[in-house]
Amino acid sequence: MKPEIDYRTQALKILPHVCTRCAREFAGKRLRELTVHHKDGNHDNNPPDGSNWELLCIYCHENEHARVEDSRAGGSREPTVTPATHRPLEGLDELLKRKK
């Protein structure tokens, strides 16, 4: 077994705590909602300079992958996403948008 690289810790260390997609900032407890996306889709490709990483909030991250799977049209995955119930922070999104 190869050693588990904690790339999330490393990514949070060198990248700004902002979702690349929706530009929301994450701090403190909410930092848990920020996840590391691998640009090339290869989770074993973890260059220490972060060139393969992108910080995405869990919602944008999900969208990102849903998009990729849609375009692949392989249909190997069961449809798990139910948009109506799956976005507890949708209201919050609206609030943040209005503030700007």
Binding footprint of Zn ion on the chain (CB under 5 A): 19, 21-22, 37, 57, 60
For Zn ion, the closer of residues 41 and 48 by Cβ is 41
| Residue 23 Cβ vs Zn ion, minimum distance, rounded to whole Å | 7
| Residue 11 Cβ vs Zn ion, minimum distance, rounded to whole Å | 12
Rounded distance between C-alpha atoms, residue 8 and residue 52, angstroms:
12
For Zn ion, the closer of residues 43 and 48 by Cβ is 43
